[in-house]
Amino acid sequence: MWVGMVIGTLVATPKDDSLTGSKLLIVRPIEICSDTGRTPVVAVDTIGAGTGETVLVVEGSSARHVVGKPQAAVDAAIVGIIDSIEINKDLLGE
């Protein structure tokens, strides 16, 4: 799982049938400990997230499981909208 910010939406009229009815959002990973330079990803929204919200994202087989389609063409799914994050910076070891 990782934390990200929804930065936009994606509309694809022709797409794999397994994605029909799925809302697709563009999510930029938020680097909490260091900047690894990950690029934004397209994630299936399973909970009604919107642009500007901080979200929890799962990838791989977990994402396909959440969508309920084990054979779907899904690599990432939004599974939560984050209300707040609290980090003890003394424990980061930076």
Tokens standing for 24? 């697709």
Q: What pLDDT score does 69 carry?
A: 84
Q: What pLDDT score does 79 carry?
A: 97
For the domain made up of 2-91, the CATH class stated in words is mainly beta
- Higher model confidence: residue 37 or residue 2? 2
Average pLDDT over residues 27-31: 93
Q: What pLDDT score does 35 carry?
A: 66
Average pLDDT over residues 41-69: 94
